[in-house]
Homo-oligomer: A and B are copies of this chain.
Amino acid sequence: MHIASHHRTAAKKCIIYQEGMDATWRRGSMGRPTIMDVAARAGVSQSTASLALRGSNRVRPATRERVLQAAEELHFTLSRSASSLASGRTMRIFMLVSPALNTWFNGAIMQGAYKALHRHGYDLIPYAVSNDAELSEFFATLRGGKNADGAIVSSFDLNDDFKRLLKTLDIPTIGLNTPTTEGFDASVCIDNIAAMGNAVRFLHSQGHRHLAFVEEPDFEPFSFSSSLRSRGFLDAARQLGYADDDLTVIRGEQTEGYHSPQDAISQIVARLLSAPKRPTGICVETDGFAVTLMQELRRQQLRIPEDCSVIGFDDDTVAAAVELTTIHQDPMTLGRRAAELVLKLIQHEAVESPHRIQETSLVLRNTTGPAPRQ
């Protein structure tokens, strides 16, 4: 992958900053302008130019103006690489997500973090991994702290080896919806267990006596699926007095090995409808899978919410579109908070409570209703 190329090639296109250039610009006609060119043009030293360009108050306003104008005329921009090397700060924050950038959740946390970071001059560098090898690569990139000032790690259930690696990283690391806060300097998470409790109690109040929880099938081997939601479901249900045979829990891994996703879904619906005590209130691990499940339920002639109620989790774009009752969470704020935490830690500011929980709420729409009679 290393292609032979000329070292320090001159700009390929029209170099418009050469227009109107006077004799103080002495570097010849090729090459990009450096801060020294700016300094020369403004009639100051290189260090003064540096101070002025970064808005230091140690420089006289008039001087600063001259420098800024010279920079503008030369079309000069600071080199971040050179700045990083000299200052020790990279102005870069890595964000680790899985398995891809284009999921509703990952998009939202990126956007939230992006805005907070960008405002402070930091770049957000996304890093998507879908297996352990890529994860190792990520940690290798970060170690030594020379390539980033901080990292945000999203939704990962790191094994012990990686947790250990995490602690050897000498930059602040923030967990985002991680099942445990161990190894992170700070974290922002939602309370999955409490959220599920709300859903279960709502179904109970609507008269549903037989409930189910359906995990999203693990079609991708590396996909992270916390067991927190099913646990929350079970905890709350038992506390309300539901017996074990009132509850049906369908695990994600139980649906592995089928020929097609469609088979797995049919299988799930079959188990739901053939249960000794057929559930009328169904909680699904994610909105995305809730929609898929509902399509199959309707194909089997079940009416929603008349015959059975369905509650999703996330409140993503699709949930609103199909008017799904669901548990709302706000990943954009999650991302923003995570970014704010990294920034504070980078600046060695004190953070009162580094591990934070963010609220969720149950949003009632059209897929839930009272339990059917009989």
Q: Which residues of A contact B (CB under 8 A)?
A: 1-3, 5, 7-9, 11-16, 32-33, 54-56, 75-82, 84-85, 87-88, 90, 100-104, 106-108, 110-111, 114-115, 118, 120-121, 123-126, 128, 140-147, 167-170, 288, 291, 317-318, 321-322, 332, 347-348
Q: Nearest residue in B to A12 (C-beta to C-beta)? A: B170
Q: Which residues of B contact A107 (CB under 8 A)?
A: 101-103, 106-107
Number of copies: 2
CB-based contact A77/B143 at 8 Å:
yes
* Alpha-carbon distance between A133 and B202 when the two chains are bound, in angstroms: 48
CB-based contact A32/B146 at 8 Å:
yes
* Alpha-carbon distance between A206 and B205 when the two chains are bound, in angstroms: 48
CB-based contact B144/A88 at 8 Å:
no
Known: A84-B81, A125-B124, A321-B322. A14 touches B168 (CB 8 A): yes
* Distance from A2 Cβ to chain B, minimum over Cβ atoms (Å): 7
CB-based contact A347/B101 at 8 Å:
no
Q: Which residues of B contact A7 (CB under 8 A)?
A: 87-88
* Distance from A166 Cβ to chain B, minimum over Cβ atoms (Å): 10
Q: Which of B3, B54, B79, B144 interacts with A147 by CB under 8 Å?
A: B79
Q: Which residues of B contact A79 (CB under 8 A)?
A: 85, 144, 146-147
CB-based contact B85/A81 at 8 Å:
yes
CB-based contact A145/B1 at 8 Å:
no
Main secondary structure of the interface of A (DSSP, over half): loop
5 A-B contact pairs sorted by A residue (CB < 8 Å): A5-B348, A8-B88, A14-B168, A32-B144, A318-B318
Q: Which of B56, B121, B126, B170 interacts with A124 by CB under 8 Å?
A: B126
Q: Which residues of B contact A115 (CB under 8 A)?
A: 128
Q: Which residues of B contact A332 (CB under 8 A)?
A: 102
CB-based contact A111/B121 at 8 Å:
no
Interchain residue pairs A-B with the least CB separation, the first 5: A102-B107, A11-B170, A81-B84, A79-B146, A102-B111
* Distance from A84 Cβ to chain B, minimum over Cβ atoms (Å): 4
* Distance from A182 Cβ to chain B, minimum over Cβ atoms (Å): 15
* Alpha-carbon distance between A135 and B85 when the two chains are bound, in angstroms: 27
* Alpha-carbon distance between A347 and B12 when the two chains are bound, in angstroms: 13
Q: Nearest residue in B to A113 (C-beta to C-beta)? A: B101
